[in-house]
Amino acid sequence: MAAVTAHIHDEARWQNLILWRYGAISVVLVGLLAIGFGGLGGISIATSVRNAQVYQRAETLASLSSDVTGLAAALEDERDQTMEYIGQGDNGRGGSLSGAKDGTTASQNLSLVRQEQSLTAPWVRKVSTDMATVGAGYSPQLQQEAQNVLDELGLLGPLRIAATSTELPAVVVMQKYTKMIDSLLSIDDNIALGGGDPALSNDVRSLSLVSLIDEQASEQRGLLAYSFAQDQKFDPNVLATLQTAQDGQAANFAEFTRVATPQQLAVYQNRVQGSLVDFASSYENQAIQLGVAGQRLQVLPTTANQWYGAMSTGTIGGIRRVEQNLVAATIARASALRQSAIITASVIGVAILIVLLLAVLLSSLVGRRILDQRRAPSLRTTALG
């Protein structure tokens, strides 16, 4: 009888040992699954948080781009009005510098330049404030470009004085303003940096190209306004610079048609059309033909003001509306991506929490089951009393 009792007790211990081992294995498996899921979820959360930060910066830069394009447009208008003033001779800068007896017309034309400068001033202050915020958290390249913008804007005052109060050549005035504007527009290239979203990258690339198209169209406006105001033969340097700007605009438009979405291209074609656009193109082609032939522009009926008005209201006005459309689309896309990244991180976080709670609950139930089984005597032990 003693031998039978001992055998039963050994069998009970063996059953408890097997139960404990299976229970322990179950707890370990549940724990490993929880750790694995938590680890993968943690990585996903970290990625989503990083994406949210990247797209937050992209949204900020896209908003900054709105200010940048506004300042670029104001500087273009200021530059081109200054170019016409220089070309007006005795009725413009030449009359002011020579101290002509009747300087009323020259003074009136200078006031138009001053008016453009006053319209530029608020944009300069706004962009200078924006650029000062581009610090830690942004790429070294972008920080350097922001500093370049601030440095260039610091030269605006001396450039205005040189352009209106000295005999600085018109082409040099154009080049110095253009360098400043190009420095501004380079900010657009960094909006989507590190984001990896194809749609945002496409919006940014399209915006950058349209901004360049606008700038090169504006260069043509200023150079030809200067030449029409002179009403003489084309200055060879001015003509060469004009043709370079025209070629650059054509190349950038060809690239835009390649990368733009059908919707973006349709917006451009709908906005940059009409009689004024056609007039501006005709005026320019006629002027270039005369310039190449070495003839005076005075044989054309076109005046500097007619050219300036058609180019501003028609071609450049249309391009700038497209540009603002792309700025708004870029801001909206970056904002949507940031919101999506935040929602993804939140959803994954909640899912991880639920899984961990279930893992704790299952582990607790398994552990309790083991304890209950170990405490309960086996039927055979109970039967033996």
Cβ proximity of 211 and 69 under 8 Å:
yes
204 vs 217, higher pLDDT: 217
- What pLDDT does 115 receive? 97
User: Three-state SS across 153-175?
Assistant: HCCHHHHHHHHHHCCCCHHHHHH
| Confidence band for 337, pLDDT divided at 50, 70 and 90 | low
Q: Is a pLDDT exceeding 80 seen at residue 370?
A: no
Q: Locate the domains of the chain by residue range.
A: 2-45+344-384, 46-343
Q: Yes or no: say if 349 and 45 are a contact pair by the CB < 8 Å rule.
A: yes
The whole-number average pLDDT for the span 126-143 is 83
**Average pLDDT over all residues of the chain:** 81
Residue linked to tokens 């139960």 = 19
Longest alpha-carbon distance in the chain: 140
From the list 86, 68, 289, 88, the residue with the least C-alpha distance to 172 is 86
DSSP state of 313: I
According to the per-residue pLDDT averaged within each range, which of 219-223, 232-236, 342-346 is highest? 219-223
Residue 304 makes CB contacts below 8 A (sequence gap 6+) with 84, 87, 88, 225, 228, 229
Asked if residue 248 has pLDDT above 50, the reply is yes
Indicate the pLDDT class of residue 3, thresholds 50, 70 and 90: low
Q: Report the range out of 129-138, 186-195, 249-258 with the highest average pLDDT.
A: 249-258
Lowest-pLDDT choice from 15-19, 205-209, 297-301, 353-357: 15-19
Q: Which of 57-66, 128-137, 272-281 has the lowest mean pLDDT?
A: 57-66
Question: Which of 60-69, 85-94, 235-244, 292-301 has the least mean pLDDT?
Answer: 60-69
Of the pLDDT bands very low, low, confident and very high (cuts 50, 70, 90), residue 268 is very high
Per-residue pLDDT at 367: 58
Predicted local confidence at residue 236, as pLDDT: 93
Percentage, residues of the chain above pLDDT 70: 68
In whole angstroms, what is the distance from residue 157 CA to residue 4 CA?
Answer: 109
Alpha-carbon span 143 to 111, nearest angstrom: 37
pTM for this entry: 0.77
Residue 328 phi/psi, 5° resolution? -65, -40
- Of the listed ranges 31-40, 140-149, 286-295, the least confidently predicted one is 31-40
Distance, CA of 51 to chain centre: 16
pLDDT band of 195, cuts 50, 70, 90: low
Please give the pLDDT value at position 193.
52
Q: Give the pLDDT confidence score for residue 379 in this predicted structure.
A: 45
